[in-house]
Chain A
Amino acid sequence: MSNNTIPNEIERFDLSARIQHVIMFTTFLLLSFTGWGLKYAYQDPASAWISFWGGAKIAGIIHRVAGITMLLDFIYHQFYLINQARKGGMRLTLVPMPKDVIDAFHNFMYFFGLRKEKPYFGKFNYMQKFDYWAVYWGMFIIGASGFFLAFPVTVSSLFPLWSIQWIWDVIFAMHSDEALLAIVFILIFHFYNEHLRSEVFPMNWMWLTGKMSIEQLKHHHPAEYDYLYGDKKKK
């Protein structure tokens, strides 16, 4: 498995993945900013905020274009995954495992001082997996409902007549409430982990370089380090 020499840094995200991420967060921010004005239309700054984005019509166009771009980015990501698998060598490092539950439990014990060491994290820890799969949840719930809301006449023919009395309210709640969840999640969890945490402040530069130093890898993802370079330890 290993060479005898351990490099100084390791690539975690290739160029394609980094570009996908940039498209994802750009469209995410645009969608959040424009959508926020409509969700809180009756709060005071909403109208001024919408005019900042060029008025209700332009803000609506920005929201739709960004939404479709994000969906395309998401679909592209699925092809990217297929391509990774086809090339071989794709490890299922992002798939949630029972170990993640144990890691989370250990991490909480560490927080409370009941364990001396951080959990034995793999290539992606449970928080990062949460981050990753949250996008899927968002895409299916917010993306699908957003698509329905953008083409209501066409989509209405898909629903049975007995659901008409509530289906649109459900779709609207899904779009609006889950968007709030996504924003809150990114704003608190993702921003803390990748921007505010004392080790990474002002940001984790990996989104641009795609690279992580070996010390970082060893410290934060010991299981991955051992997998790559630790065949002598054989944990």
Chain B
Amino acid sequence: MRNWLIAVLLLSFSLLVLIPAADAAADAATCLGCHGSMEGAVNVNQDKYSKSVHGSFDCVTCHMALKGAQHQGLSGKADKATLALASEISPKSKIDPIAQAACAQCHPEIYQSYKTSIHGQNVIVKKSSDGPVCTSCHGTPHYIQPKSSKESMVNHFNVVKTCGTCHEEKHRAEKYGFSPLVMERYLESFHGRKLKVGHTNAPSCVNCHGSHDIKSDKDPASPVNGANKIKTCGKCHSGATEKFVAAITHKPLHPIAHFTELALIVLTMSVFAFICIHVLLDIIADIRDRLFRKGGPHE
């Protein structure tokens, strides 16, 4: 009886080990066997991949359906929801929309939140090629780093630049009606400067505007719309009032501010010029006196 039991256990154990191996499909090593040394967009750096947050995944976790004869027998099958999403975002993802859509499988809450955002609406509903999908902000999917990593594109100190890749562009500003100087005005503000020199409490774009669920500032649900703005600014500036929060708009510099600054620069430059000339003349006169007027009125 006992022998039987052992025999069954052994058999089932070896089946457990052998079956996946037989189908050995597409564990990462199999894929990297080719893709690790291929050139161009299909190359995947094994080292960097294994260090990414998803480095322990098999490739087919995301690349559910592989095309082409070279992948025969390696491909799995995508589920309906992923296929549907993939077709919706296909204008955004030329290489493998299914893999692009696969993020939603493990991150359904973020996906739901993204879907309601202005970015998500633009991509999924309006089928625009402008809006970002996950990888637009989080970077090359194979090398995604945790947000805390300095290499992450959405790290507190990197995310402004990431937003800027689209929000700095004039044609998009015109098309969607945001200030074309939004980046410039932020960068020269105290918030932007403090962030640049490493102030951990300085707000980046997402601290005020939100991230996955980002809304247009005209949307009443936006954290920077109307009354919400008072609450949003109040996260750091307790006691913020309507007058206080009206200061930050990212709009181009007002003419009064522009000309005041110009006047101050003119003042600074004139004083600078005056004192430089004064000091230079003083030096020349001093040298002259020492050389030619020894015993004169100077000593």
- Interface residues of chain A, those whose CB is within 8 Å of chain B, are 37-38, 41-42, 46-47, 50-51, 55-57, 59-60, 108, 110-113, 116-118, 127, 149, 152-154, 156-157, 159, 161, 164-170, 172-174, 177-178, 180-181, 184-185, 188-189, 192, 197-198, 219
Contact = CB atoms under 8 A, between A and B. Distances in A.
A177 B256 CA distance: 16
Nearest to A42: B196
Given A56-B197, A153-B238, A177-B261, A188 B276 contact: yes
B247 A168 contact: yes
A156 B243 contact: yes
B21 interface: no
Interface string B249-275: 101011111001100110110011001
Contact of A192 (B199, B240, B249, B282): B282
A145 to B, nearest CB: 11
B241 A157 contact: yes
Given A50-B198, A153-B239, A111 B246 contact: no
B194 interface: yes
A142 B297 CA distance: 41
Interface in B110-151: none
B197 A46 contact: yes
Contacts of A59: 197
B190 A149 contact: yes
Given A170-B260, A184-B268, A189-B275, A156 B247 contact: yes
Task: Give the top 7 A-B pairs by smallest Cβ distance, nearest first.
Answer: A56-B199, A166-B254, A169-B257, A111-B281, A41-B193, A156-B244, A166-B257
Nearest to A178: B264
Contacts of A157: 241, 243-244
Given A118-B297, A165-B254, A50 B197 contact: yes
A172 B239 CA distance: 21
Interface string B274-288: 011011011111101
Contacts of A41: 192-194, 196-197
Contacts of A170: 256-257, 260-261
Given A164-B246, A174-B264, A116 B297 contact: yes
Contacts of A46: 196-197
B198 A51 contact: yes
Contacts of A184: 268, 271-272, 275
B297 to A, nearest CB: 6
B199 A57 contact: yes
B264 A173 contact: yes
